[in-house]
Amino acid sequence: MTTLSPELIATHQLTEAEYNKIVQILGREPSYTELGIFSVMWSEHCSYKSSRLHLKKLPTRGRYVVQGPGENAGIVDIGGGYVAAFKIESHNHPSFIEPFQGAATGVGGILRDIFTMGARPIAVMDALRFGPLDDPANGARNRRILEGVVAGIAHYGNCFGVPTVGGECVFEACYNGNPLINVFALGVAKSDEIFYAKAAGLGNPVIYVGAKTGRDGIHGASMASAEFTEESKQKRPNVQVGDPFLEKLLLEACLEAMQTGAIVGIQDMGAAGLTCSTCEMGSRGETGIEIELDRVPQRETGLTAYEIMLSESQERMLLVAEKGREEEVFRVFRKWGLDAVAVGQVTGDGLLRVRHHGEIVAEIPNQPLADSAPLYDRPHTLPLRTAPMEAPAFSSSNLTHDLETLLASGDVCSKRWIWQQYDYQVRTNTLAGPAVADAAILRVKETGAALAMALDGNARYCYLAPREGTKLMVAECCRNLAVVGAEPVGATNNLNFGNPERPEIMAQLVESIEGMADACRFLDVPITGGNVSLYNETLGEGIWPTPVVGVLGLLKTGAPVGVHFRQAGRPVMLVGGLGDCDPVRFGGTQYAKAVLRNLWGLPPALDLEHEKRVQAAVREMVLAGLAESAHDLSDGGFAVALAECSFGAQSVGAEVELTSDLGPELLLFHEAPSRVLLSTSEPERVKEIAARHGVEAPRIGVTVQGQVVIRNRGAALLQANVDSLRKVFEGGLESKLRA
């Protein structure tokens, strides 16, 4: 056996204490292969060692929840004998190194998490963060990363046959060296046909299916658990290459094989590949697993045991079948032209035993390997922030011009250039795809019901105040569902942060999780799973705290209520009222960012109690069929929302008259939450519902053809032609890509 030098242990990113724990578990020094196995299983990416303690604070139970965190995906009951499986996952580090394949395999990984559970994927959404496209130093690289990431997502999702129905895309300098690619996927299964990742039944065969194993992606999980340095580009070989066609075959074959009734448990080989799938299935089933690496289908010759165990080659699954019924499973995989090989069996000794060339190369107790990873209560102080609290003096010379600046800005402008590259309609379930409504809506043909979903994140708010920022983000995401009439039933989160070993970064993570827990509990949306991505730092520069949440809601199938005004002459109502703001609470807005190019103060104030009432009121209005259009106020505040409502095919705008004592910049562009713009032909009924919920809903104006006009107490603030605003809005992203 090789002697393991301290240097070798250090390059595996294991601390001395962690190594000693390994020796204690094994009762001896680990072999080289065992060292590799421990290092990936105990990496931050696989073990959540810095976040686990705090993730426990999140609410995970609810009346719709069938499966909470801990499985490949969360599951909620959607009625009619069906469930929805959904989860979000990041592929940040690989996408920086190799944008196209990094993003493509990110999609592949989350899709496998869904169909591993027996659910057919029916939708994908993505939350993307890049450095500014016009950044003087990094613009060219940021554009290249954006183009590669979008092409990668399109390549994988379009070929696999899952619609990419929405998402969000934000640009900040903190993502210059560290883009974020978070992909959400949703699938549907029959309630009594859910599959779990458990190995059970002594002597049952362990079957390897799908792509052959190669040298790609070795130590991907560990790479995703470290900061980037100048040398990181040399890690390109650690990024895997995706094959969406093979994944499509794997999907069909797995779902068909599940129908045979011969499958006991199944798990995809994602991060940490064969290592993770074997020991986690064994640990969950409280069994042992014995595998023979010579039987593993291999793409190249001369692979070592270490390489086979740590490879992250894509499109592979591990399943446990009933002994004696292997042939039924093999027959299905043969039909789809896929490798399916029995590589081992379930044992009763609780050990992961790996043989190669007739020798035992690893023998590790499953339970401690999978579940006894070190758990750190990392010190945390005050969250990092360098922005001032005081607002600078500002005064606009042209509010219409300011609105155009906002509409053209990267965060607010139309993302058509991105989503038009995605097939958002395949499977013909998309009732509301990108840019139609505040949430994406998919019908479930099997039950006649529909599902709504939205993704939200706001790192600006979270940087200024992680706890409040995260609450605002959860509130907005739920509001997006309320606006289309859906009831939120569950959520998944992606926590993208910097280096948790820095107390001021750890504090961001802790406060964000606690804020999320409070908001989710208050709004009654349990978290059913998700992903934590730490060490998002390059050359010591960390990203801003960027939690992202995806919320799933239920609603009846029907024509969706979109954001666009549909006809002129309709009353316009502002449910939730004008809201309030002061200069300090204005510092995290898009106006501060795009027009003033500044950041200060605090995020908008949130009253969760009021928010909940607004959401209930809007949901009731929409379900009663009173809303011809509905759109929540978020990035860019009132003026931007009003302009967005006008960008429908008929260019119907609005003329509104406000009554407020706020200065014009604040009045038009502040981002106080809990507000929804609605056009209706029945204003009295809208008012009646609002009053019943204790919510303001002033009638502020009327829709008109082709114009956006805003006055305050009779004084004109802003007047613009819809089509000229639209031109700025639609051209924003492409003009930056051409830069």
CA distances 314 to 157, 245, 463, Å, are: 15, 12, 35
The nearer residue to other proteins, 20 or 425, going by C-beta atoms, is: 425
Contacts to other proteins from residues 154-213, by CB under 8 A:
154, 158-161
Distance CA 213, CA 307 (A): 9
Among 98, 243, 404, 665, the residue binding other proteins under the rule CB under 8 A is: 243
Distance CA 323, CA 263 (A): 10
Stretch that binds other proteins, among 37-45, 322-330, 413-421, 459-467 (CB under 8 A): 413-421
The nearer residue to other proteins, 443 or 460, going by C-beta atoms, is: 443
**Residue 245 near other proteins by CB under 8 A:** yes
Q: How near is the Cβ of 120 to other proteins at its closest, in Å?
A: 10
**Residue 598 near other proteins by CB under 8 A:** no
The nearer residue to other proteins, 191 or 557, going by C-beta atoms, is: 557
**Residue 336 near other proteins by CB under 8 A:** yes
**Residue 422 near other proteins by CB under 8 A:** yes
Contacts to other proteins from residues 122-151, by CB under 8 A:
151
First to last CA, the chain: 57
The nearer residue to other proteins, 158 or 222, going by C-beta atoms, is: 158
**Residue 420 near other proteins by CB under 8 A:** yes
**Residue 424 near other proteins by CB under 8 A:** yes
**Residue 731 near other proteins by CB under 8 A:** no
Helices then strands, counting H and E runs in the chain, come out as 25, 28
Stretch that binds other proteins, among 259-267, 423-431, 665-673, 687-695 (CB under 8 A): 423-431
Q: How near is the Cβ of 175 to other proteins at its closest, in Å?
A: 23
The nearer residue to other proteins, 421 or 499, going by C-beta atoms, is: 421
The nearer residue to other proteins, 407 or 418, going by C-beta atoms, is: 418
Among 83, 127, 249, 554, the residue binding other proteins under the rule CB under 8 A is: 249
Q: Is residue 23 exposed (0-12), middle (13-18) or buried (19+ Cβ within 10 Å)?
A: exposed
**Residue 428 near other proteins by CB under 8 A:** yes
Contacts to other proteins from residues 451-480, by CB under 8 A:
none
Check if 155 is active-site: no
List of E strands, 378-465: 430-432, 440-444, 449-456
CA distances 596 to 394, 667, 720, Å, are: 8, 16, 21
The nearer residue to other proteins, 87 or 120, going by C-beta atoms, is: 120
- Residues in CB range of 222: below 8 A, 6 or more apart: 12, 13, 39, 40, 43, 45
The nearer residue to other proteins, 252 or 504, going by C-beta atoms, is: 252
Q: How near is the Cβ of 559 to other proteins at its closest, in Å?
A: 7
Q: How near is the Cβ of 107 to other proteins at its closest, in Å?
A: 14
**Residue 430 near other proteins by CB under 8 A:** yes
Catalytic: which of 91, 93, 380, 631? 91
The nearer residue to other proteins, 258 or 608, going by C-beta atoms, is: 258
Stretch that binds other proteins, among 90-98, 350-358, 469-477, 555-563 (CB under 8 A): 555-563
**Residue 557 near other proteins by CB under 8 A:** yes
Output the six-digit token pair for 28: 């001896």
Alpha helix segments (H runs only) across 184-236: 220-223
Stretch that binds other proteins, among 355-363, 556-564, 630-638, 664-672 (CB under 8 A): 556-564
For residues 317 and 250, the answer to whether their CB atoms sit within 8 Å is: yes
CA distances 83 to 454, 661, 673, Å, are: 18, 49, 32
- Residues in CB range of 186: below 8 A, 6 or more apart: 84, 85, 86, 114, 121, 122, 123, 124, 442, 451, 453, 552
Q: Which of 393, 426, 455 is nearest to 87 (CA)?
A: 455
Distance CA 162, CA 427 (A): 7
For residues 210 and 317, the answer to whether their CB atoms sit within 8 Å is: yes
Among 53, 387, 426, 702, the residue binding other proteins under the rule CB under 8 A is: 426
Q: Which of 509, 437, 519 is nearest to 473 (CA)?
A: 519
Alpha helix segments (H runs only) across 161-286: 220-223, 244-259, 273-285
Q: How near is the Cβ of 163 to other proteins at its closest, in Å?
A: 9
Q: How near is the Cβ of 250 to other proteins at its closest, in Å?
A: 11
Q: How near is the Cβ of 211 to other proteins at its closest, in Å?
A: 13
The nearer residue to other proteins, 267 or 314, going by C-beta atoms, is: 314
Distance CA 725, CA 221 (A): 45
Instruction: List residues bridging with 90 in a β-sheet.
Output: 182
Q: Which of 169, 176, 172, 170 is nearest to 142 (CA)?
A: 176
Contacts to other proteins from residues 431-450, by CB under 8 A:
431, 443, 445
One-character DSSP codes across 276-324: HHHHHHHHHHT-EEEEEGGGS-BSSS---HHHHHH---SSEEEEEE-TT
Check if 91 is active-site: yes
Stretch that binds other proteins, among 240-248, 326-334, 392-400, 497-505 (CB under 8 A): 240-248
**Residue 425 near other proteins by CB under 8 A:** yes
Q: How near is the Cβ of 92 to other proteins at its closest, in Å?
A: 24
Among 98, 216, 423, 511, the residue binding other proteins under the rule CB under 8 A is: 423
Q: How near is the Cβ of 447 to other proteins at its closest, in Å?
A: 14
CA distances 102 to 319, 327, 646, 700, Å, are: 26, 36, 37, 47
Number of residues in contact with other proteins under rule CB under 8 A: 32
Q: How near is the Cβ of 426 to other proteins at its closest, in Å?
A: 6
Q: Which of 640, 629, 633 is nearest to 728 (CA)?
A: 640
**Residue 427 near other proteins by CB under 8 A:** yes
Q: How near is the Cβ of 313 to other proteins at its closest, in Å?
A: 17
Stretch that binds other proteins, among 194-202, 226-234, 238-246, 463-471 (CB under 8 A): 238-246
Q: How near is the Cβ of 432 to other proteins at its closest, in Å?
A: 10
For residues 487 and 622, the answer to whether their CB atoms sit within 8 Å is: no
Q: How near is the Cβ of 183 to other proteins at its closest, in Å?
A: 17
**Residue 101 near other proteins by CB under 8 A:** no
In residues, how long is the chain?
Answer: 739
Amino acid at 271: A
The nearer residue to other proteins, 419 or 461, going by C-beta atoms, is: 419
Distance CA 367, CA 285 (A): 10
The nearer residue to other proteins, 425 or 659, going by C-beta atoms, is: 425
Give the number of C-alpha atoms closer than 13 A to the C-alpha of residue 568, restricted to the C-beta side.
10
Q: Which of 505, 494, 490 is nearest to 456 (CA)?
A: 494
Among 421, 499, 681, 735, the residue binding other proteins under the rule CB under 8 A is: 421
Distance CA 262, CA 357 (A): 30
**Residue 564 near other proteins by CB under 8 A:** no
**Residue 415 near other proteins by CB under 8 A:** no
Among 87, 93, 198, 248, the residue binding other proteins under the rule CB under 8 A is: 248
The nearer residue to other proteins, 252 or 328, going by C-beta atoms, is: 252
Distance CA 432, CA 443 (A): 9
**Which residues contribute to the site for other proteins (CB under 8 A)?**
151, 154, 158-161, 243-246, 248-249, 252, 336-337, 419-428, 430-431, 443, 445, 557-559
Catalytic positions: 45, 91
